[in-house]
Amino acid sequence: MLTLVEKILFALAVAASLYYTWRGVEHIIRNIGSGQGKMNWSLVPKRIGELTVKVGLFQPVFRFRLGPSILHALIGWGFLSFLLINLADLIYAYSGFKLLEHLGWFGNAYRLLADIANVAIIVGILAMVIRRFVLRPATLSTRETTLLHPKARFGILRDSAIVAGFIFIHNSMRFLGESFGVALAGHADPWQPTISTVAGWWSGMNPNALVAGEHLAFWLSIGAVVAFLPYFPYSKHIHLFFAPINFALKPERKSIGQLSYVNLDDQSIEQFGAARMKDLGWEQIMDSYACIMCFRCQEVCPAYNTGKLLSPAALEINKRYHLNGGGGTDVELKTLISDEAVWACTSCGACVDICPVGNEPMRDILDIRRNLSMMESAFPKQLETAFKGMERNMNPWNVSQADRMKWAQGLTVPTIEQNPEPEILWWVGCAPATDARAQKTAQAFAKILNAAGVNYAVLGKNEACTGDSARRAGREDIFFGLATQNVEILNEVAPKRIVTTCPHCLHTLKNEYPAFGGNYEVIHHTQFINELVGAGKIQLEVTQDDMKVTFHDPCYLGRHNKVVDAPREALKSAGALTIEMPRHAEKSFCCGAGGAQMWKEEEPGAARVNVTRFTEAKLTGAETVAVGCPFCLTMMTDASKADGGTIQVKDVAEIVAERMK
């Protein structure tokens, strides 16, 4: 199709484009390579199935914002199909050979796919442009108070315009050029129905004009790709490559909240946490390139939702704009996110869970906390009491270990010394053992275990805090000491199964202690209650009156550890009518206590996280808010008291214990 001169000019344009594109790619590779750790390519074969589903079906995208997700899919699926289409167009331009017309049924089917994809992409991108530039929803931006790179506010809009313009020109011109080609052939192509319809508009047109139109359309269509390529490494469109790489190569983790192991016995370690971008893992630097700037993480962030300075999206965007502007990874992270924003994070994991490209801004924040706490001693002073309690008395409440079993007075609760070979080791947890309100949960669960005749034991005075709050606050030294001690004790006991009454204990024992040599089967108490009910070991008296309950999913139970059905099934067994809040299960809204927030004042904002969540629960019309975490119990109880105590707040174990025959 192209003349000899055009072929030479096009080849030269492609060569120049690829040269400048490589310079951008080289810059990216250098930045990612400056991060900590090494890529583990052996993960790819194990993840190929999951990767195919995520990339091919855009499964992570559809978990949120259904309408825009459908539009994105139209564009994305169309883009995937166009890889072969563009190759066929290049072959035709240089040889006059129409590949897709000489591949039999496959070529026919693919031309039909191309026809549909072409229309889908054009419709999808026009709708996205209207949404971005006409409707302009607040969810596609951030507040003025958010720390955002000075070039980002306008830059995001400009980038969106360039990407949208490229996609529209490329696909509309390809559509138009193909219609000229069909018109030149003198007959409709039944496998390209919409293109053939448009080709009919050109009937009677001078063949020379059609040839000229075909040439022009090629240069605008494929030329748009050539012109866009050097900009590609700097655009948000680069997520097309880095999202699959993210899913394929992210380090293996047992949970989205599992933090990396730090060996405090290694005296050669000079840097704890991240002070500069280069202190982050390579995958955390890569997150900034994978980010599509959709602000979904910000939309689900409890801190941002309640008016705090934190925006996980802004952190990734700031990293990206700094790097795109020529800055290196030696930049201090304090210039990209404020300390106040860092300490507003509840480590709920919502940003990680919802990200359609696999980014983990929460991990950056917790690494920054490690540096602030371990290297600079720059942490909120209110945390000192909890830190001292964990260091001196092995619990953040600073209650003496001698009083660890006071909650069990009047109950038969065997210790490991009294029952050295139990079927179940119950890890009570600091809150149920020491906090007056949470002790009622422990007492209720003890009654359930005893009624069911379970062969169990507790560690009693030998049980210490798992160190969750210390770790999420950046005090890796305190966590290391507690974890080492607990693993030593647990390995000596060699429990068959561990049941916890706290999701934070569940998460730490199950997901983080394996790095210390502690590998255990750990379940939540609501899961074990279900087992007991299913086995007929406890009988529940269900009354005719429905008990209207809404269950608040703890972040470290539902989102971090994927336990969402067990608490609801337990409530159902107890005769409760469960009414769901709009945000529930793995998309639950945080209570505000995680990430060591339990031990400090909440950062300034427009509202308190626990009050916001309680209000959501109240609007369901439920009479009781059921919880499965002592931290959630405290936060929801405080919010209920502030509201006049109109709604009860109870742990699932309390509700079940009340209904036992």
pLDDT for the residue numbered 168: 96
441 contact partners, CB below 8 Å, separation of at least 6? 432, 501, 630, 633, 651, 653, 654
Distance CA 601, CA 250 (A): 34
Residue whose tokens read 């390139």: 289
Contact predicate 176/213, CB 8 Å: yes
Nearest to 650 by CA among 538, 543, 567, 540: 567
pLDDT for the residue numbered 102: 87
Nearest to 88 by CA among 109, 107, 104: 107
Identical fold between 383-530 and 540-658: yes
The domain ranges of the chain are 4-140+169-232, 270-374, 383-530, 540-658
Cα-Cα-Cα-Cα dihedral of 600, 606, 611, 616, to 10°? Answer: -140
In this predicted model, what pLDDT tens digit does every residue of 505-558 receive, in sequence order?
Answer: 999 999 999 999 999 999 999 999 999 999 999 999 887 667 899 999 999 999
pLDDT for the residue numbered 544: 60
DSSP 510: I
Q: Please count the other Cβ atoms lying within 10 Å of the Cβ belonging to residue 50.
A: 12
Parallel, antiparallel or unpaired: strands 576-578 and 648-651: unpaired
Distance CA 319, CA 309 (A): 17
Residue whose tokens read 């796919």: 113
Counting as low any pLDDT under 70, the low residues of the chain are 544-545
For 540-658, the fitting CATH number among 1.20.1270, 3.30.70, 2.60.120, 3.40.50 is 3.40.50
Q: Please count the other Cβ atoms lying within 10 Å of the Cβ belonging to residue 133.
A: 12
pLDDT for the residue numbered 135: 95
Burial class (CB in 10 A: 0-12, 13-18, 19+), 518: buried
Residue 632, Cα to own-chain centre: how many angstroms?
21
DSSP 643: T
Q: Report angle CA 498, 502, 508 to the nearest 5 degrees.
A: 65
In this predicted model, what pLDDT tens digit does every residue of 381-400 receive, in sequence order?
Answer: 999 999 999 999 999 999 99
For 383-530, the fitting CATH number among 2.20.25, 3.40.50, 3.80.10, 3.30.70 is 3.40.50
Distance CA 80, CA 251 (A): 27
Contact predicate 463/496, CB 8 Å: no
Specify the CATH superfamily of domain 270-374: Alpha-helical ferredoxin (1.10.1060.10)
Nearest to 331 by CA among 474, 156, 149: 149
In this predicted model, what pLDDT tens digit does every residue of 142-162 receive, in sequence order?
Answer: 999 999 999 999 999 999 999
Side chain identity at 597, as an amino acid letter?
Q
Parallel, antiparallel or unpaired: strands 547-551 and 576-578: parallel
